[in-house]
Amino acid sequence: MKIRKRIAIDMDGVLADTESHYISWYLQHHGIAVDPATLIGQPEGHGFPDRQAVERFLHTAGFFRTLPVMQDAQEVVLALSVNYEIFVVSAAMEFPLSLSEKREWLAEHFPGIGWRHLVFCGDKSIIDADYMIDDHLKNLDVFKGKTLLFNAAHNSHATGHERVQNWKGVQAFFNRELAGASSAA
């Protein structure tokens, strides 16, 4: 039996498009349309006129349940699941309200990922997998396997991990991994 390698995939900013959700909630709650370009290179939330707004959104019921799915995430995750074992690993413990909302969101948008493959944690250094896809350095820096930094405005100046611009970039990375593995075999 072939044991498939494991990919640990983050939710916020990777499976879910938190950045565009911040912008649309900001417009809705504060009446101001924030230009995505102004968020580049700033810590999460700091690019908005009211710097506390994002923190408030994260503690508001409904925020996580209504997140839009990141472009191409569903198709690429499905394609990756042929050759890899997929785990969704979210640092959900920081936001107690998010636990049930995230569970429901995943069941709706990624029904192919069963409950056995979901992990809600705090510190991701407890995760044992081969690859981790995440938009936060704090999670990738403590991971022992291969790391992919998913591009986001808040991490645009970060270095030290292979950066992927989007889910097409993730697909291309794993296509190379598989090609390398088969040529080495």
Q: Which of 58, 71, 96, 84 is nearest to 16 (CA)?
A: 71
Q: Which amino acids are annotated catalytic?
A: 10, 12
Q: Which is nearer to its own copies, 32 or 93 (CB)?
A: 93
Shortest Å distance, C-beta 98 to its own copies = 10
Q: Which is nearer to its own copies, 40 or 142 (CB)?
A: 142
Shortest Å distance, C-beta 93 to its own copies = 4
Instruction: Provide the 10 A C-beta neighbour count for residue 28.
Output: 8
8 A C-beta contact, residue 12 and residue 44: no
Q: Which helix (H) or strand (E) holds 161?
A: none
| Rounded Cα gap, residues 180 and 185, in angstroms | 9
The alpha carbon dihedral of 119, 168, 157, 16 has a sign of negative
| Rounded Cα gap, residues 30 and 39, in angstroms | 17
Q: Footprint of its own copies on this chain (CB under 8 A)?
A: 6, 8, 87, 89, 92-94, 96, 99-100, 103-104, 114-123, 125-129, 144
Q: Which is nearer to its own copies, 39 or 91 (CB)?
A: 91
Shortest Å distance, C-beta 170 to its own copies = 20
Shortest Å distance, C-beta 123 to its own copies = 4
Residues 6+ apart with CB under 8 A from 109: 15, 69, 74
Residues 6+ apart with CB under 8 A from 35: none
Q: Which is nearer to its own copies, 104 or 162 (CB)?
A: 104
